[in-house]
Amino acid sequence: MIFDLEADPGERRTLASKYPETVKDLRQAVADWQATLPVAGKK
């Protein structure tokens, strides 16, 4: 989710629908990062 912390410090209103490309890019960045993490229980 994306928030305007100055205008909405309680994070009650997401701006995700206003910035769909940013959300897509952030989700991909997280997925790329997660792919580098070791799988629990595997060596």
Which two tokens mark 26? 């952030």
> Residue 43 — pLDDT band, cuts 50, 70, 90?
low
pLDDT in tens, 8-38: 999 999 999 999 999 999 999 999 999 999 9
Cα–Cα distances in angstroms (integers) from residue 33 to residues 6, 17, 30, 36, in the given order:
28, 24, 5, 5
What pTM, to 2 d.p., does this model score? 0.73
Does residue 41 register a pLDDT over 80? yes
Q: What residue spans define the domains of the chain?
A: 1-34
